[in-house]
Amino acid sequence: MTIASGLSLRGPVGVVGLGLIGGSIGLDLRAQGIEVRALVHRAVTADRARQRGLADQVATDPAVLAGCRLVVLALPLDRLLHPTPELVAALPPEAAITDVGSVKVPVLARWQPLHPRFVASHPMAGTAQAGVEAGLGGLFADRPWVATPGPATDRQALAQVQALAAALGSRWLECAAEAHDRAVALISHAPVLVSAALLLAADRAAQAGAVSGVAELPELVRALASSGFADTTRVGGGNPELGTLMARHNRDAVLAALGHYRQALEALEQELSSGTWPALQADLERCQRLRPEFL
């Protein structure tokens, strides 16, 4: 793993897609005086993006990317893995090309043959919002931006993507694509499903309680839910399309992560069932020590 910073970025920078990630990149770069040219799918999105000032130029014509030194593919995983021929043809051959997808093995395999200066990367930042209204300044500040170069990755293109991360205030890391996908399965993808399971469990158990005689239980659990429940269910209540795409394209690693989670949950359940309170407290004390290492 490599960690570095301190590079400068020169524009124009192209951004394909102006949702949360693309829009936030545009806002931050424009605030630094770096020219941003954006390609979007729909005219209505282009109009709203101009109103919000997400880019200097916004168009539905891929020709807007001509002359860009760096192009960021801020697309959903399905569109990233199945790019249109028009998009691929419009990417300047001399530009560094990168993506922001949360799964790297299939992205690297798909894009390395498509463009000689492609760099697979992933900013570890986000919110529950999506679409052209979601972009906000400062999203990437002090957040990891990980690149997963392969043996054929152009090193100068890699340096340009590193300069982008530095301009956005991110912490740069490099690792193998497979290692990235296994790591994000543990700390990003599986938590979405775990969080979703908690929401579903609370709703279903409350509905069952209402049927069995506690009629007010569904309303009561909603009224009593506070910051702890909000914190542990935030990602499970986020963008369902994004969650499904992450699980679909990183399935094996996510299944393995859920297996580890199941083992940990069963161990805690056994301690609770048997009343082994010293063991339960010891596990919770270990978690208290561990958590700062992940934040």
Same domain, 97 and 240: no
Mean pLDDT of 106-113: 96
User: Is the pLDDT score of 4 beyond 70?
Assistant: no
Does the structure show a pLDDT above 80 at 37?
A: yes
Q: Does the pLDDT at position 1 exceed 50?
A: no
Q: Is the pTM of this model over 0.85?
A: yes
| Same domain for 79 and 110 | yes
Domain boundary among 118, 142, 175: 175
Instruction: Please give the average per-residue pLDDT across 41-60, as a whole number.
Output: 97
Residues 203 and 170 in one domain: no
Give yes or no: residues 161 and 223 share one domain: no
pLDDT computed for residue 295 by the predictor: 87
More confident residue, 213 or 169: 169
Does residue 8 lie within any of the structural domains?
A: no
Kindly state the tokens that stand for 111. Answer: 């894009």
Task: Based on the fold, state whether residues 69 and 43 are members of the same structural domain.
Answer: yes
| 119 C-beta neighbours (distance < 10 Å), count | 27
pLDDT in tens, 86-103: 999 999 999 999 999 999
Residues 108 and 45 in one domain: yes
CATH number at residue 196: 1.10.3660.10
CA dist 61 and 68 (Å) reads: 14
Tell me the pLDDT tens digit for each residue of 157-168: 999 999 999 999
Do 162 and 191 share a domain, yes or no? no
Write down the pLDDT at residue 2.
Answer: 41
Domain that holds residue 113: 13-175
Decide if pLDDT at 266 tops 50.
Answer: yes
| Final residue in a domain of this structure, among 126, 158, 175 | 175
Instruction: Report the domain count for the chain.
Output: 2
